[in-house]
Amino acid sequence: MGRYRLDVGYDGTAYGGWQVQPNARTIQGELERALGTITGETVKVHCSGRTDAGVHARGQVAHFDLGLGRPCHELLRGINAILDPDIRALRVLPAPADFHARRSAAGKEYRYFIWNAPVMQPVLRLYRAHVRRPLDAAAMGAAAARLEGHHDFSSFAANAMRPVESAVRNLFKLRVSKRGPEITISARGEGFLYKMVRSLAGFLIRVGEGELAPEFADELLASRKRTAVVPTAQPQGLFLWRVWYV
């Protein structure tokens, strides 16, 4: 049996997220369908981290096993010939038998994009969260700096009925940058809880609107409790940007 690494990019607008589910098209389902068609095997595709409905990926990483080895270039060409153009296999590489897209990952980077203007650019409506009220990017950056580091992020996790051993995560970087009407939140860490990045973005947006002070980040971390103070930001602004391995 051969193991393969698969790098994937996708526009998540038309999909119910990564994970296979009834009554919805999903990224995992489409990839497994394509691989099954070209190999004649039942193929399970494992990803570095599941994305929700409407969330995009520039650098998702997955792995799969085949009973009969195939040349990587043939797999790449065959997968993309079957997939709709809003999903693309970017690379197929041979992988060691112990490579696991999620467990072997050393870290991930997500980017959340906000269009901060009274009117949304139509071509960006599926790829930016629209916030009409002026945002104070400096205040958002000050709040973000307080969230960097090794913390219990229970206050920034949604309950998806997925038990986790610990809500402690190491957030290497959380930065806010502004260029014209576009504000970008970059989050880099060893791993993320369910909807954690969208929750961080939702909190930073409230800070930017002046509803919360940057210092309130300390109180949220200390509380270890999710409340309505932290909203979950819109999905379309979020991109899984990069996954890296040792």
Which residues belong to the active site? 52
3 state SS of 202? helix
Residues 153/195, Cβ–Cβ less than 8 Å: no
Cα Rg for the chain, rounded, in angstroms?
19
Q: End-to-end CA distance of the chain: give it in Å, rounded.
A: 24
Give residue 19's Cα distance to chain centre.
Answer: 13
Strands 56-66 and 238-245: parallel
The pair of structure tokens assigned to 145 is 């700096």
Distances (CA, A) of 195 to 98, 187, 200, 210, 231: 28, 13, 9, 23, 10
